[in-house]
């Protein structure tokens, strides 16, 4: 049995959907932006990461460090050998019914009413909301955005008649330099990890523009490993994937996925200035935002292979303690949003810089 924080451990799809719903209900009751941050992190990463981009097949268990999805015994505590295949009902059928609740419940919780008769933007996505404010005036708000891949959110407020009410905008905890403008004029400063409250008389056509600067940043995981995040997205190594259909004549077959490219990389990072070593490449958003083939945003950075990091029991073995020295040649690797990577490394060893005095033998 591995440690529960090991990124090769698995988590069930049902747990993700139910966690999202729990955070939605908690946020509605307590109004603490922390829970909406957690909601978005699951919704925009782990949820799409456990099914194919068209939702035609899914996993029972997913792994942050997932280097193969094969039919074989693994280190799961109770689940069987089909648990991380992609299919219609791998392992048990509960996730097949539960997975489709994630997105609709998120949509229904993007906007919430406030105790003073106003509206709150709890989570961000392209949407429209129509509600009564002050118990008597109908307001329609259209939200235009490519969040979570882009940093700008535009709101157009259209009340049936001019009305004063509070509009509460969640400023995510990671958005350290967020800005808000109303009809082009800067609003008061936006503090990360809070709701910015704008109380004024709103008239038809008023526009609010929010910018959440999305500089890449580093988070620390198991054994001092590093993960790369940008905005609400976690990024994973882009790997070559070979999909093999099982039960070839089945209408809804299971699939095994094996890597066609190396996975055991450590990242070359600058913890003090992460953005200096990471190139951000944006592309159009296609029919499936979390596409397996064309991601809306990629991160390009330097890495080195860590030869001693090998497969164990069908999964990536325990992470080497970071920082790690590697004599392998430096390479350029591409990271894609976690939700778009069906095979992935998410928690990486940190490679010691040659100039560092902290080199390990």
Answer with the residue of higher pLDDT: 102 or 247. 102
Q: What are the residues whose beta carbons fall under 8 Å from the beta carbon of 39, sequence distance 6 or more?
A: 20, 23, 24, 27, 106, 109, 122, 123
d(CA 118, CA 164): 9
User: Backbone dihedral region of 311: left (phi > 0), alpha (psi from -120 to 50 degrees) or beta?
Assistant: beta
Domain locations in the chain as residue ranges: 110-211
Residue 78 has pLDDT above 90, yes or no: no
Residue 347 has pLDDT above 80, yes or no: yes
The reported pLDDT for the residue numbered 356 is: 42
Q: Is residue 93 very low, low, confident or very high in pLDDT (cuts 50, 70, 90)?
A: confident
Q: Is residue 354 very low, low, confident or very high in pLDDT (cuts 50, 70, 90)?
A: low
Long-range contacts at 248-256 (CB < 8 A, ≥ 24 apart):
252/57, 252/87, 252/88, 253/87, 254/57, 254/71, 254/82, 254/85, 254/86, 254/87, 254/88, 254/90, 255/57, 255/69, 255/85, 255/86, 255/87, 256/68, 256/69, 256/70, 256/71, 256/85
Answer with the residue of higher pLDDT: 276 or 241. 241
Min mean pLDDT across 12-21, 72-81, 270-279, 287-296 is at 72-81
The reported pLDDT for the residue numbered 357 is: 41
Q: Is residue 303 very low, low, confident or very high in pLDDT (cuts 50, 70, 90)?
A: very high
- In DSSP terms, 140 is beta-bridged to 130, 158
Residue 134 has pLDDT above 50, yes or no: yes
Query: What does pLDDT average to over the chain?
Result: 93
At the top level of CATH, which class does the domain 110-211 belong to?
Answer: mainly beta
- In DSSP terms, 280 is beta-bridged to 299
Residue 346 has pLDDT above 50, yes or no: yes
């Amino acid at each position: 049995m591995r440690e529960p924080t090991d990124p090769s451990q698995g988590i069930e799809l049902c747990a993700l959907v139910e966690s999202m719903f729990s955070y939605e209900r908690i946020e509605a009751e307590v109004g603490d932006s922390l829970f909406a941050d957690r909601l978005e992190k699951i919704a925009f990463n782990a949820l799409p990461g456990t099914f194919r981009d068209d939702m035609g097949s899914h996993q029972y268990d997913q792994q942050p460090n997932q280097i193969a999805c094969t039919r074989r015994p693994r280190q799961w505590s109770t689940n069987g050998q089909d648990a991380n295949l992609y299919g219609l009902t791998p392992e048990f059928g509960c996730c097949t019914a539960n997975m489709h609740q994630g997105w609709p419940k998120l949509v229904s919780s993007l906007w919430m009413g406030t105790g003073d008769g106003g509206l709150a933007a709890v989570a961000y996505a392209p949407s429209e909301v129509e509600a009564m404010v002050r118990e008597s005036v109908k307001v329609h708000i259209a939200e235009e955005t490519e969040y979570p891949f882009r940093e700008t959110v535009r709101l157009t407020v259209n009340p049936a008649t001019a009305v004063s009410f509070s509009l509460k905008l969640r400023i995510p905890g990671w958005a350290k330099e967020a800005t808000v403008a109303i009809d082009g004029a800067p609003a008061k400063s936006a503090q990360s990890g809070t709701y910015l409250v704008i109380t004024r008389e709103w008239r038809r056509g008023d526009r609010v523009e929010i910018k959440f600067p999305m500089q890449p940043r580093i988070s620390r995981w198991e054994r001092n490993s590093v993960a790369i995040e940008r905005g609400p997205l976690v990024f994973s190594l882009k790997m070559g994937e070979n999909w093999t259909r099982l039960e070839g004549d089945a209408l809804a077959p299971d699939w095994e996925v094996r890597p066609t490219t190396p996975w055991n990389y450590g990242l070359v990072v600058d913890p003090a200035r992460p953005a200096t070593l990471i190139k951000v490449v944006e592309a159009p958003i296609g029919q499936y935002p979390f596409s397996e083939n064309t991601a809306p945003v990629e991160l390009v950075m330097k890495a080195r292979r860590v030869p001693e990091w090998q497969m164990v029991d069908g999964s990536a073995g325990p992470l080497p303690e970071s920082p790690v020295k590697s004599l392998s040649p430096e390479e350029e690797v591409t990271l894609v949003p976690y939700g778009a990577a069906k095979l992935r490394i998410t928690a990486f060893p940190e490679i010691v810089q040659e100039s560092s005095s902290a080199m390990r033998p």
